[in-house]
Amino acid sequence: MPSIQFGGVVSGLNTQSIIDALVAVEKQPLTVMQTKEADLSAQKDSYARVGTALDDLIAKIKAFTVTSAGSSRAATSSSPSVLTATATTSAAVASYQISVDRLATATRAASTSAIGAAVTGAVNTSLALNKANLAAPITAGNMAVTVDGTTVQVAIGNPATATLQNIMDSLSSALQTQLQTTDGASTVSASIVGGKLQLSISGNTTTHDVTFGDVADTSNAATALGLKAQGFIGVQNATVNATAYLDPTLASLNLPGSITAGQISAIVDGILVHYTVGDPTKTTMDQVMAGFGKAITDQLVAGGANQGPDASAVMTASVVGNRFQLAMTGGTLTHSISFGAASDASNALGILGISNNTVTNATNPTLTGVTNLGVARTLGALDNAGLTGLTSTTTGVLTINGTAISYNTVTDSLSTLITTINNSAAGVTASIDRTNDQILLTRKDTGAIAIDITDTSGTLGAALKLAPGTTNAQTIGLTSQVTVDGRVITNTSNTVSGVIDGVTLNLGAKDPTGQVETLTVGVDTTAVQNALTAFVASFNSVGDTLDSATATTPGTTGGTAGTAGPLASDPTAKMMFLTLRDTVFQTLGSGTINSLGAIGLNTGAAGAPVGTTNRLQLDTAKLSAALTADPNAVAKLLDQSTGPMAALLAQVQGYEDPSSNTTYIQANTTGISGEITSLHSQEAERQTMIDNYTTMIEAQFTQMETTLSLLQSQSQQIAAQLGYTTTSSGTGTSNASSSSSSGS
pLDDT tens per residue across span 542-591? 999 999 889 888 877 776 777 888 888 889 989 999 999 998 888 887 77
| Residue 606, SS3 per DSSP | coil
The pLDDT assigned to 523 comes to 78
Rounded distance between C-alpha atoms, residue 208 and residue 57, angstroms: 113
The pLDDT assigned to 10 comes to 55
Rounded distance between C-alpha atoms, residue 487 and residue 135, angstroms: 71
The pLDDT assigned to 728 comes to 44
Which of these, 92, 71, 57, 74, lies nearest to 639 by C-alpha position?
Answer: 71
In this structure, are strands 187-193 and 495-500 parallel, antiparallel, or unpaired?
unpaired
Q: Please report the sign of the dihedral spanned by the C-alpha atoms of residue 382, residue 383, residue 388, residue 391.
A: positive
Q: Are 387 and 380 in contact (CB under 8 A)?
A: no
Rounded distance between C-alpha atoms, residue 277 and residue 291, angstroms: 9
- What residue ranges of the chain have pLDDT lower than 70? 1-13, 65-71, 559, 605-613, 640, 725-744
On the CB side of 303, CA atoms within 13 Å amount to: 5
- Give 96's contacts (C-beta < 8 A, 6+ positions apart): 484, 485, 500, 518, 519, 520, 521
The pLDDT assigned to 607 comes to 58
Rounded distance between C-alpha atoms, residue 391 and residue 382, angstroms: 10
Rounded distance between C-alpha atoms, residue 110 and residue 463, angstroms: 12
Sheet containing 141-147: give its strands across. 150-156, 141-147, 208-212, 232-235
Using CA atoms, how far residue 427 sits from 68, 404, 666, in Å, is 36, 12, 55
Q: Are 148 and 238 in contact (CB under 8 A)?
A: no
pLDDT tens per residue across span 369-396? 998 999 999 988 999 898 988 988 789 9
The pLDDT assigned to 636 comes to 78
Which of these, 110, 128, 208, 131, lies nearest to 167 by C-alpha position?
Answer: 128
- DSSP state letters, 82-147: TEEEEE-TTS-SEEEEEEEEE-----EEE-SS--BPPP-SS--TTSBGGGS--SSPPPSEEEEEEE
Q: Are 337 and 305 in contact (CB under 8 A)?
A: no
Rounded distance between C-alpha atoms, residue 230 and residue 504, angstroms: 82
Q: How far is CA 636 from the centre of its chain?
A: 44
Rounded distance between C-alpha atoms, residue 672 and residue 182, angstroms: 130
Which of these, 129, 126, 120, lies nearest to 285 by C-alpha position?
Answer: 120
